[in-house]
Amino acid sequence: MDPLLLALIIGVATTAILFSGLPVGFGLLTISLVFIVSFDGLSALSLMPEILFGKLESFEVLAIPMFILMGAAVASSRAGADLYTALDRWLTRIPGGLVISNLGACALFSALSGSSPATCAAIGKMGIPAMRERGYPDTVAAGSIAAGGTLGILIPPSVTMIVYGISTETSIGRLFLAGLLPGLLVTVLFMAWSIYSTWSQARRMGDGVSALTAVTYSWRQRFEVLPRVIPFLVIIAGVLFALYGGVATPSETAGVGAFFCLLTAVVIYRMWQPGKLWEILRDTTRESVMILLIIGAAGVFSYMLSSLMVTQTIAQWIGALEVNRWVLMGFVNVFLLMAGFFLPPVAVILMSAPILLPVITSAGFDPYWFAVILTINMEVGLITPPVGLNLYVINGIAPDIHLKTILRGSIPYVLCMFAAILILCIFPEIATWLPTTMMGDAR
């Protein structure tokens, strides 16, 4: 059978089985086994356990449960609320300061958790009621938190970046560095839009501008919250120093960071009760197993595509297209956006990155720059239906805010992400300068 026709059949079958509601990991394994047995016979099944577990034997995989434990320990405490409170008290005089505080808290919490839903939930539980209480529209209150939560998969340490590194065999430390400045860029774009939106709304309100006026805090109130926040900021600084200073590998850094986040949660927030510690470990195990199963299943899926010559044929076909490389990148972005609408980021990365990376590099694009572009596309998928995980997290926090309202409030931030992709296409050094400066040329 022609490999391109086979690729189409596999694509349709994979889409159908994933839409059936079957978990992503089991869906990928089912598709892989069906096509491997159909073309290579039952004898090929003897290789499957080796491929599945071989994908998980890398030492770098250990970083995933450790960073998830780090995020779970922080998310189970009041760290998110304290980050939000501290920023609110220090940024109170800035137009739209409450929205800025929430976005800043999302960015800082992302550096601790590496998880988008955890960031969304931790900051949203405090931030959304506060914004609504001070007169901010539901679209702004819900949309800003939904968008701010997406920073969790871009700002390091990012679990999706680890997954990309494992699936493409690229340096995780270099990927973290590549995501740092773009993560700040997206945060600044979010904040700029929030300031403009609040200012324009205040002008329209006229006499009602006091509804959005910042609350005044004394210097004592500003400083009293810092002792609960500073330890986590020190942990962030320590993790970044260990990662980028060559002190430890990502897996070692994740282990130490998880230990200190757990210790800080126990000491500062008195979470020494066995029940609370059990919840942290339970949530960590559940999410880690889900991701590791998808990684192993994606390894089998990639083997199936490779053994049937699907991956090689698609790469050759795309490479033979006589189109400008930026037109090619445009098609890739559209594909990633469409995939992100229906699948979680980890699944999209594991399924598409091994196929797309040879095409991207042959067209002259940097693989670490592309990782950032891919991740921003996945961020868009987190706040757009039908999957739109962050939309449902926000709806769970504030069930009286309709999903349509949350989506409408998120759209301006989606446009900010598109603007970030455009800026990174014009100035790719934003993603490549820091890794090259600190770790040398990847080539």
3-state helix/strand/coil string of 8-36 = HHHHHHHHHHHHCCCCHHHHHHHHHHHHH
| Structure tokens given for 338 | 């469409």
344 DSSP 8-state letter:
-
DSSP 65-126: HHHHHHHHHHHTTTHHHHHHHHHHHHSTTSTTHHHHHHHHHHHHHHHHH--HHHHHHHHHHH
Cβ 181 vs Cβ 156: under 8 Å:
no
Cβ 83 vs Cβ 109: under 8 Å:
yes
For residues 26 and 19, give the distance between their C-alpha atoms in angstroms, rounded to a whole number. Answer: 12
- Burial zone of 417 (CB within 10 Å; 0-12 exposed, 13-18 middle, 19+ buried): buried
DSSP 272-334: -SHHHHHHHHHHHHHHHHHHHHHHHHHHHHHHHHHHTTHHHHHHHHHHH----HHHHHHHHHH
Q: pLDDT under 70 in the chain at which residues?
A: 80, 92-96, 202-215, 244-246, 311-312, 315, 318-321, 387, 442-443
- Provide the pLDDT for residue 81: 72
* Domain ranges (residues) in the chain: 3-13+22-439
DSSP 234-261: HHHHHHHHHHHTTSS-HHHHHHHHHHHH
CB atoms within 10 A of CB 219: 8
Cβ 36 vs Cβ 45: under 8 Å:
yes
For residues 374 and 182, give the distance between their C-alpha atoms in angstroms, rounded to a whole number. Answer: 12
- Provide the pLDDT for residue 63: 81
Amino acid at 392: Y
For residues 80 and 75, give the distance between their C-alpha atoms in angstroms, rounded to a whole number. Answer: 7
- Provide the pLDDT for residue 428: 94
Give Rg (Cα) of the chain. Answer: 22
- Provide the pLDDT for residue 420: 95
For residues 228 and 267, give the distance between their C-alpha atoms in angstroms, rounded to a whole number. Answer: 10
- Burial zone of 13 (CB within 10 Å; 0-12 exposed, 13-18 middle, 19+ buried): middle
For residues 297 and 32, give the distance between their C-alpha atoms in angstroms, rounded to a whole number. Answer: 8
- Provide the pLDDT for residue 185: 94
CB atoms within 10 A of CB 224: 14
443 DSSP 8-state letter:
-
Instruction: Kindly give the interhelix angle for 172-205 and 138-149, rounded to the nearest 10 degrees.
Output: 170
| Omega before 227 within 30 of 0, i.e. cis | no
- Provide the pLDDT for residue 210: 45
Which tens digits make up the pLDDT trace of 382-396? 888 776 778 888 888
CB atoms within 10 A of CB 97: 23
- Provide the pLDDT for residue 103: 86
In terms of pTM, does the model score above 0.95?
no
To which H or E segment does residue 203 belong? Answer: helix 172-205
Distance of CA 136 to the CA centre of its chain: 27
Give whole-number Cα distances, 173 to 70, 169, 229, in Å: 18, 12, 26
